[in-house]
Amino acid sequence: MIIDVVEIQEILPHRPPFLLVDRVIGLEAGASIEAYKNVTIQEPVFGGHFPGHPIYPGVMIIEGMAQAGGILAFKSMDEEGQEDTKEKVVYFMSIDKAKFRAPVRPGDRLVYKLGVIKHRGSIWVLDGKAYVDDKLVAEAELKAMIVDK
């Protein structure tokens, strides 16, 4: 299942420059998602992180994973015929086991791969990994809750 940035903006409330998913390239409802972000020198964060040596911040990588996880949760709920997701939003509950293994730089394609560890009611626990050129650059376990806006 391919979801482009126009449809992503129908699913998530985030907007540039804080929309951190450009495209979904695979999604299995209730199980997993694969998405990516093209990291460019145009990212506002590179003005200060770091001048002359641009590195994409780890917190932005984690947020991108979380946004991909939100897409997975909302599309899964839609497929299951659950309540209207247009009136819902995803809140972080915890970020555990976060590790950053290699820097991400302008020109990289940051690929997010997330799998469902547990889903019960409005709570989702996801195993998130981020790759550049098939090299693991970051990982974390994310817990989120779907709530009313």
Active site residue 14: no
Structure letter (DSSP) for residue 81: T
Of 14, 49, 53, 119, the active-site residue reads 49
Query: Which of 127, 133, 141 has the alpha carbon at shortest distance from 102?
Result: 133
- 70: its two tokens: 């939100």
pLDDT, position 117 = 98
- Report how far Cα 67 is from the mean position of its chain's Cα atoms: 3
Secondary structure of residue 33 in the 3-state scheme:
strand
Domain at 66, CATH number: 3.10.129.10
- 10: its two tokens: 């129908």
What is the Cα–Cα distance from 60 to 103, expressed in whole angstroms?
Answer: 12
What is the Cα–Cα distance from 64 to 6, expressed in whole angstroms?
Answer: 16
Secondary structure of residue 10 in the 3-state scheme:
helix
The model's pTM? 0.96
Range(s) of the domain holding residue 111: 5-148
Structurally, how many domains does the chain consist of? 1
Interval 46-103: pLDDT, tens: 999 999 999 999 999 999 999 999 999 999 998 877 667 788 999 999 999 999 999 9
Query: Which of 106, 111, 142, 109 has the alpha carbon at shortest distance from 24?
Result: 111
- 11: its two tokens: 């699913």
Write the single-letter amino acid at 132. V
